[in-house]
Amino acid sequence: MSLQVLTDLHQEVRRLFIAGSSVAVGDLRLTRLLPQLRKLGENAPVFNRLADAVQLVTEARPEQASAKLLELGTLLHSILYTQGRTEAQGTLEEVQVTETRGVTAVPYRKMKSLIDALTERGPGRLEVIRQGYEDSLFQDFRTHVPAVAALEDAYAEIAEFMYDDVIPSIGPAVVPILHRQLNLQGGKGDARKLYLIHHLQGPVNAELILQAAGEGAAEVRIAAVDILGDYPELEDVVLEKSYERRKEIRRAALSALSRLGTGRAADRLFEALVGKDRELAVEPIQAYSHPTLIQRILDQAEAWLNAFDGSAVKTEAVEQLFAVVQCLKGKNDETVRVFLEKLLSSPAFMVKETAAVQEYAAELLLDMQRPEGYRFVESLYRQWGGRHIAYSFQAALRCLSPEEVYDRFADLLRNKRQAQAKELLRTLYDLTEQQALTLYLEAEDLSPIAWDPRWVHLFVDIDEEELVCRFVEGPDRKVVDYLLKKLAVAPQLMKPRTISLFFALFKIGHRETPELLMQALEGSEGKRFYFMDRDQLVLMSLLPGSYAERLEKFAALLSYERAKQEVLEVAERLKTKTKDEAEMGKGAGWIEWIKSKMY
């Protein structure tokens, strides 16, 4: 109690030293301490002396206040000095220090905002941390301790950024800090620390990893068991952990076994696949490349396939077969291809209940990129009454000429109400999504698929407007008339479909397109433009330079300042166009500017 009163009095006296003795006379904060000092003075006379000194300060005349305040301060400091201790309790221990080679000339003033972002809570911190990373501030040792602490940040995106980018960039210098802050009974943050210690030091911490795998909390144990996959000499431990009661531990152990790559590991993975851990075994087996294991899986798959005898399909049997098919992902062996083709040729298997397995198998055949596989998948839709036409079409694009693809599939689109026509149209839209951007994408960004020029006429006939815009390549009277007819429907509304039509007309070099676009913008009177999206801005940038003044007048109609400034920026760029660039719909620096709007 007495020491607290002395501390409070010291703070008040220090305050008055700073503020000036002129405000000490009648100071209420000093006056409030007098009763406590008088009470303590009943047992210790020194407190009465302090109380008298305080009273003299508060009641002093202005010209005497400075002297009385100095006397009070001298007495108080003398008393406080006697309360100090010079001896230290406990035993001496060697202090571990951070490596000091990471010393930079960055002032602490600039460093503080980064350290605050790492150690405090609240919004906007990730941007500060990213900027600090880009400015190489994490090479300064003053950031290392808070950087490691941020691995436990409640905001997962910050913790992951520290784990993925920041801590690895610091390098081995941060390892001692990771060791000091590691708590085996911790959570996700400590699991990250364990992974980083392993990644930065390599497999040299077997004792620590074993301890974490046996004694750590759940998250730490999972990480430790997974790390054991880099310790071949500890295979017995990993095998033991693969039978743990906790599902997450078994998953980590199976992942570790897939990296060990031994015969015993292959046996355990196969056991898990055909047993209760079927779901957990799929991903480790996908990452595994043991030929004996693949053959065992194919043999088992053959046995399960033979169980489909035309009777009622059991859910368990479908799930078993789906698991083994998933295990074949990334396996480009001839035996795998043969099995997948057999699977998709089996009438007993090709039923509604196995649709998901069928699609996965077809995708695997496409991913194998084998000519035989392409030809087989291309025939699927004919073999099974139009089913899997999406995969057949993709395979045809890879193994047939553009003319052959059109001849085989075009007529299937004539009746858009049929199921296979709908599926084929969805596939065409998915495959040609980037073709909508061909007007302002560079060659390396374009799709490698070659298309027969007859497609665009087919899309005109069946009225697939967006596909017409994507497939049009050059001037064509039938296509131009179709596009202009579609554009005539309320172009001033500037809907996404209207923008696609304008892009298509620019693409084929239709001479009236700039005027049509400008009239559509002017007809809108700026009422619909709360903001300008990428496509609208890029479309305006394709206007010839002679339209700059009209575009500036259009900008004046816009109510929202941001939209107005973006349009004015386009108008300024139009003024820099040369004659040739105006003909091409391009301007100085147009590619860089357009890409800045795209991404």
pLDDT at 350 exceeding the cut of 70: yes
| Final residue of a structural domain among 37, 60, 82 | 82
Both 318 and 432 in one domain: the answer is: yes
Mean predicted confidence (pLDDT) in 137-143: 89
Classify residue 350: in a domain, yes or no: yes
Q: How many residues are listed for the chain in this entry?
A: 599
Both 397 and 340 in one domain: the answer is: yes
Virtual torsion, Cα 473, 479, 481, 486, nearest 10 deg: -90
The residue segments making up the domain with residue 16 are 2-82
Both 487 and 571 in one domain: the answer is: yes
Both 312 and 340 in one domain: the answer is: yes
Both 308 and 335 in one domain: the answer is: yes
C-alpha distances in Å from residue 308, one per residue of 117, 275, 341, 438, 517: 60, 20, 16, 48, 61
Give the model confidence (pLDDT) of 502-553 as tens digits.
989 988 889 999 999 999 888 887 666 777 788 888 888 889 888 999 999 9
Classify residue 229: in a domain, yes or no: yes
C-alpha–C-alpha distance, residues 425 and 456, integer Å: 13
Give the model confidence (pLDDT) of 466-514 as tens digits.
999 999 988 889 999 999 999 988 787 788 888 899 989 988 889 999 9
Q: How confident is the model at residue 64 (pLDDT cuts 50, 70, 90)?
A: confident
Determine which helix (DSSP H) or strand (DSSP E) holds 286, and give its type and residue range: helix 278-286
Q: How confident is the model at residue 30 (pLDDT cuts 50, 70, 90)?
A: confident
Instruction: Provide long-range contacts, Cβ within 8 A and 24+ apart, for 126-133.
Output: 126/155, 126/157, 126/158, 126/161, 129/158, 129/161, 129/162, 129/166, 130/161, 133/161, 133/165, 133/166, 133/169
Angle made by CA atoms 386, 392, 394, in degrees to the nearest 5? 140
Both 539 and 563 in one domain: the answer is: yes
Q: How confident is the model at residue 400 (pLDDT cuts 50, 70, 90)?
A: very high
Virtual torsion, Cα 151, 157, 160, 162, nearest 10 deg: -60
C-alpha–C-alpha distance, residues 564 and 409, integer Å: 47
> What does the block give as tokens for 70?
């100095």
Q: What is the pLDDT of residue 583?
A: 47
C-alpha–C-alpha distance, residues 315 and 318, integer Å: 5
> What does the block give as tokens for 323?
């698991």
pLDDT at 388 exceeding the cut of 90: yes
Both 122 and 181 in one domain: the answer is: yes
C-alpha–C-alpha distance, residues 289 and 275, integer Å: 21
Classify residue 451: in a domain, yes or no: no
Least confident of 14-18, 125-129, 224-228: 14-18
Classify residue 548: in a domain, yes or no: yes
Mean predicted confidence (pLDDT) in 114-136: 91
Both 57 and 125 in one domain: the answer is: no
Both 300 and 437 in one domain: the answer is: yes
Q: DSSP string spanning 475-492?
A: --HHHHHHHHHHHTS-GG
443-461: string of b/e by CB count within 10 Å (b at 16+)?
eeeeeeeebbeebbebbbe
C-alpha–C-alpha distance, residues 91 and 293, integer Å: 59
Both 275 and 325 in one domain: the answer is: no
Give the model confidence (pLDDT) of 552-586 as tens digits.
999 888 888 888 888 898 898 888 876 555 544 45
pLDDT at 130 exceeding the cut of 50: yes
**Residue 227's domain is classified under what CATH number?**
1.25.10.10
C-alpha distances in Å from residue 351, one per residue of 304, 315, 359: 15, 13, 12
Q: How confident is the model at residue 587 (pLDDT cuts 50, 70, 90)?
A: very low
Both 148 and 241 in one domain: the answer is: yes
**Owner of token pair 């596909």:** 467
Virtual torsion, Cα 361, 362, 363, 364, nearest 10 deg: 50
Classify residue 411: in a domain, yes or no: yes
Both 317 and 409 in one domain: the answer is: yes
Q: How confident is the model at residue 362 (pLDDT cuts 50, 70, 90)?
A: very high
Classify residue 97: in a domain, yes or no: no
DSSP 8-state code for residue 415: S
With both helix axes pointing from N to C terminus, report the angle between 389-399 and 371-378 in degrees, rounded to the nearest 10: 140
Classify residue 329: in a domain, yes or no: yes
C-alpha–C-alpha distance, residues 326 and 328, integer Å: 5
pTM: 0.73
Number of domains in the chain: 4
C-alpha–C-alpha distance, residues 305 and 318, integer Å: 9
CB-based contacts of 287: which residues, under 8 Å, 6+ apart? Answer: 255, 258, 259
Classify residue 493: in a domain, yes or no: yes
Amino acid identity of residue 418, one-letter, is Q
